[in-house]
Amino acid sequence: MNRFTLKGLFLDALYQVLDNLGFRILLILFLVPVAMSFLVSFGEQEVSFLWAWDLRYVDLIPDGFGSGSGGAMPNPGEYQLPPGFRDSLLQTIATTLIDQVADKFGLVFGIAAISFYVPQMLERGAADVVFSKPVSRMALFLSRYVAGLIFVGVLALVLVGGTSLGLAVSSQYFDPGLLWSIVTLVYGFAIFHAISCTIGVFTRNSIASILLTLVFMPVNCGLHKGWESIVASERQEADYYARHPDKTPAIEEDSAAYATLRTGLTVYHVLAPKSRDATRIAQGWRKGFEPIAEFRDEDLGLEVLEPPAGFRREPRSSFEGDGLEWLAAVPEGSGEARWTLRSQDMEVIGTRSSLVKKLRKELSVDPVRSDISGRYTDRFEWVEDRGGEKRLRRRWVFQINSRILTLDYDAEATWARTPEQETAAQKFVASIQIEDALAQQMSQADYDSFFGWTAPWQFNAWFSVGTTIAFIVAVLALGIAKLKRIDF
């Protein structure tokens, strides 16, 4: 096949896309969020519509919500936005737009819009004209398949690329990981489009092609999800006993039905396309562009998003030793300001309530009810004389599982109570995030937590991509073989 024939087939595929009514409808629908990304500007404290109407984020939050999460605030009763709130909001909007609107609605609509490509080519009269050309049936079949990839590729580029550009221009926000979604959207569509094209060859009916493909999509996802739940549960159990060698797993005989089900799901998982993994791969790539947290403890699900403003972390400090320390130099004669975050075992120091009672007695100060990341916290505040200097002290006491955590603040009182430092302190406390215990347990047992490029084959991304591409090739080969045997 010479380059002129290839060019002609490509142009034919492109014109089929551009002349498609479904493509034009989706293009218009996708241009709406792209236009909004240019017209709506997200600032650090407010969102602006058409550069004329500003709405503060805090105005959308009920009065009193989160007011106890830190120390005294310059404006009492006003909620202090956590660090990275705007970026987190934009990331959520973009993810919802791509994963829910484009990936689900766009995929189904796209299959419906282009399912007639192959059946229409095989209609009586049309087939005689098409196959009279000096082009092989395989080339014509693949050109229809490529037309579908162009269809979704252009739409994905418009939606994802246009939205990313709009956010960069209007909100000065750019998430390079978001662009990977263009690849994964085409990848996911390529699976079901191959099935649609091959069904079209066997049935020569666009309605049958649509219905059978749309039935296959949820069935395929459901079977993979069932297999993922089984292997993730087995992996979690194995990891638990690996961390607790003193415990012996109970020996249970698997029923014949369960063994048969597991074997069947395993065979299906190996052979069938893994469309659910496309989203996982895109999310993994996006995480590679996310800023690294200042500190994270996986076991407790605790994360410090960023250091206190103007402070630096002492590299030799230990979370479970004397505590993580962040230090800052303050005006001459005022010493250093210090933040300390420490974790201790409840079996060693007693319960949280006993520690609070002890501090109340020692300091002669009643604690104020507060919260850190929505978790109940006792906050003490007092001023102490140290070498003729007034030092403002604050201590938060809270609990995660069997660990008692304390967060201490020690700084020269006048300096610490300036509006600038009060705001910085509030932001630092708000940057401490604690994952809910149930959510943490569920995420640790989730298949996504084991999935990766270097994971064992059951959770390996390379295995997923390789077997999925092999499935696409096999399905297309089946369609080509059938097409070659049809006598028009």
Question: What sections of 308-385 are H helices per DSSP?
Answer: 346-349, 352-363
Range of the domain at 413: 297-439
Query: Strand, coil or helix: what is 344?
Result: strand
Examine the domain organization and report whether 337 and 462 are in the same domain.
no
- 390 and 459, same domain (yes or no): no
In a domain, 445, yes or no: no
Classify residue 56: in a domain, yes or no.
no
- Phi, psi at residue 311, to the nearest 5°? -105, 155
List, in sequence order, every beta strand (DSSP E) within 123-272: none
183 in the same domain as 92 = yes
Residues (pLDDT < 70) of the chain are 1, 60-84, 123-134, 240, 249-254, 288-290, 331-334, 437-445, 488
State how far the Cα of 308 lies from the Cα of 83, in Å rounded to an integer.
11
Domain CATH for 411: 3.40.1000.10
Question: Which pLDDT score is estimated for 81?
Answer: 62
Neighbour order of strands in the sheet with 53-56: 40-42, 46-49, 53-56
| 3-state secondary structure at position 116 | coil
Residue 110 lies in a domain: yes
419 with 478, same domain? no
Are 333 and 351 part of one and the same domain?
Answer: yes
Same-domain check for residues 305 and 283? no
Residues 222 and 322 in one domain: no
Whether residue 413 sits in one domain with residue 342:
yes
Residues 307 and 278 grouped into a single domain = no
Residues 412 and 303 in one domain: yes
Q: What is the pTM of this model?
A: 0.73
Q: Are residues 412 and 470 in the same domain?
A: no
Residues β-bridged to residue 342: 406
pLDDT of residue 75: 44
The reported pLDDT for the residue numbered 486 is 84
Considering the domain architecture, whether residues 194 and 95 belong to the same structural domain is answered as yes
List helix spans (H) across 288-432. 346-349, 352-363, 413-416, 419-430
Round to whole Å and give the CA distance between 375 and 69: 9
CA 162 to chain centre: 20
| Nearest Cα to Cα of residue 295 among 340, 347, 348 | 340
359 lies in some domain: yes
